[in-house]
């Protein structure tokens, strides 16, 4: 008899940001397949005796291929297990969720998606800013900063990304941000557009660095560091708030 898979969103890493449903699913699971950013204290909610399997993919590190992760999900569920696929942030945002859903559908395995706090929302909250503002920031857009090769994705809508009245959030973009910034400037975005580098959001080593798109691109061209990060730019990214571990780029 087939089991069941719950795609559980763990939020940015702070276990206090888990939903009640996420905690319940972890406590019920026979197996938890987790991303790197969903490890640590979050796994304390898993029931004793559950299989805990790390399947996270991080740039520059050896990690499971996507088809291996999908096969593990199918194999556990076919054995009758209640499986939690624990994904960081919200599972539906740059988490390769659709590929894993397709594998389950092909195998005839039922699933659910448990939403969570998106990392972009957690970063804005940590910085003490909203993502939107009447008149001057009516739109929010999320993009990924790299494609399957690790380079800046082709075919980006630069006119939209250079809109100085939108809040733009770049996921996984530290390495490619200098190239993105050059393209943004060519498309008309002012180099002094406020920007925020939010690293390790929801973790004890959380860090916020404020500056401009220009200064942040210059800094990242010199050093990117290993911490996972989001980059926010737009009219709200430069608003000052008293936050922990904050510095100026």
Say how far apart CA 172 and CA 199 lie, in whole Å: 11
pTM, entire model: 0.89
Three-state secondary-structure class, residue 74 = helix
| pLDDT, greater one: 199 or 59 | 199
Which one of 36, 57, 78, 239 is the catalytic residue? Answer: 57
Question: Could you read off the pLDDT of 175-227 as tens digits, one per residue?
Answer: 999 999 999 999 999 999 999 999 999 999 999 999 999 999 999 999 998 89
Which one of 35, 87, 90, 163 is the catalytic residue? Answer: 35
Per-state percent for the chain, helix, strand, coil, to nearest 5: 30, 25, 45
Q: Is 192 among the residues known to form the active site?
A: no
Q: Could you give the domains of the chain? A: 4-114 (3.40.1010.10), 119-248 (3.30.950.10)
Q: Is 67 among the residues known to form the active site?
A: no
| Burial group, residue 244, by CB count within 10 angstroms (0-12, 13-18, 19+) | exposed
């Amino acid at each position: 008899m087939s089991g069941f898979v719950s795609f559980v969103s763990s939020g940015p890493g702070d276990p206090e940001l888990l939903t009640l449903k996420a905690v319940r699913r972890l406590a019920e699971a026979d197996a938890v397949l987790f991303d790197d950013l969903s490890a640590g204290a979050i796994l304390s909610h898993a029931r004793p005796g559950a299989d805990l399997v790390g399947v996270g993919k991080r740039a520059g590190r050896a990690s499971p291929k996507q088809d291996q992760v999908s096969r593990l999900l199918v194999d556990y569920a076919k054995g009758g297990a209640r499986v939690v696929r624990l994904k960081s942030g919200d599972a539906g945002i740059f988490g390769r969720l659709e590929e894993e859903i397709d594998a389950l559908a092909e195998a005839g395995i039922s699933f659910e998606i448990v939403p969570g706090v998106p990392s972009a929302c957690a970063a804005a909250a940590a910085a003490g800013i909203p993502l939107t503002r009447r008149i001057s920031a009516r739109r929010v857009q999320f993009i990924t900063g790299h494609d399957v090769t690790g380079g800046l994705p082709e075919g980006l809508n630069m006119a939209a990304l250079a809109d100085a009245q939108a809040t733009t959030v770049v996921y996984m973009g530290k390495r490619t941000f200098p190239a993105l910034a050059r393209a943004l400037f060519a498309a008309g975005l002012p180099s002094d557009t406020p920007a925020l580098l939010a690293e390790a959001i929801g973790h004890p080593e959380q860090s916020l660095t404020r500056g401009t798109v220009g200064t942040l691109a210059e800094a990242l061209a010199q050093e990117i560091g290993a911490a996972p990060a989001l980059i926010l730019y737009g009219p709200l990214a430069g608003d000052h708030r008293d936050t922990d571990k904050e510095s100026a780029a």
